Amino acid sequence: MMEETAVDLFSVFEHGDAVLVAVFVILALMSLATWAVAVAKLVAWLERARASRVSQREIVESRSALNLARRLQGRTDPVAAIAQAGLDAARAFRGRWDGSHADNQRLDEALIRGIRQALDRQEARVQAGQTLFASVGSLAPFVGLFGTVWGIHGALLELAAADNVTMNLVAGPLGEALVATAAGLAAAIPAVLFYNLYNRGHRLYAQVLEANAHDVHALLMHDPALGQWAGGGHRNERAEPVVATAVEA
């Protein structure tokens, strides 16, 4: 029975209508792309999680901008990229580094802007591939349904032209048409599952990035030697740094 079914499915490509064949090819490509992206994201996710844990530890153990820059040298994971963006923002700051409230306020804004931009870039990078999952999950069932409707239409035309209508004449074309709907669901269901799983993972990882962004911001704002490290001289340790309670969106 299994062998006959396989022959019937391959007969679509041997004798089927070009439109129906195109439907199966499109669905096969959708399914292949879905699984390829899912596996690639899983491998990248595991590597990113491992590297991010190391960068988180380096941030927690750092006591100054100089120490943080040395610890993160050569690291490229999202957590390290956010921390590096904060360091770059400090280097690019062109204030007086006199420890005044106004100067600290400008530094605070510069750090928040640089860290937030890096945070947005890293979140977009992590979410790569979600559009494919969403597109396949929403489009594949309709592509399969189109193939079924087209196949039934062709089968009815064959029946109308036949002199002697038998069950074998009806079952073959209709079965091939209905398989298109099943193929569409087979491509869509994994895509929807992957979308939901990775979407939840992205939300959790975004919280990790936010927490590390706050830590980097607090470390830099409380570093009295930040001005010297950034090339602008010493900061006045007697002035109270302005520390934002959150990295503003």
Tokens of 171: 């079952």
* Residue whose tokens read 């844990």: 53
CA angle 168, 169, 172 (to 5 degrees): 75
CA 217 to chain centre: 25
**Angle of helix 130-161 relative to helix 18-61, nearest 10 degrees?**
170
- What global pTM score does this model have? 0.75
Q: What is the mean pLDDT of the chain?
A: 81
Confidence label for 100 from pLDDT (cuts 50, 70 and 90) = confident
- Give backbone dihedrals phi and psi of 244, rounded to 5 degrees, phi first: -75, 140
**Per-residue pLDDT reduced to its tens digit, 78-96:** 999 999 999 999 888 887 7
**Per-residue pLDDT reduced to its tens digit, 32-62:** 999 999 999 999 999 999 999 999 999 888 8
**Per-residue pLDDT reduced to its tens digit, 10-26:** 555 555 678 888 888 99
CA 155 to chain centre: 42
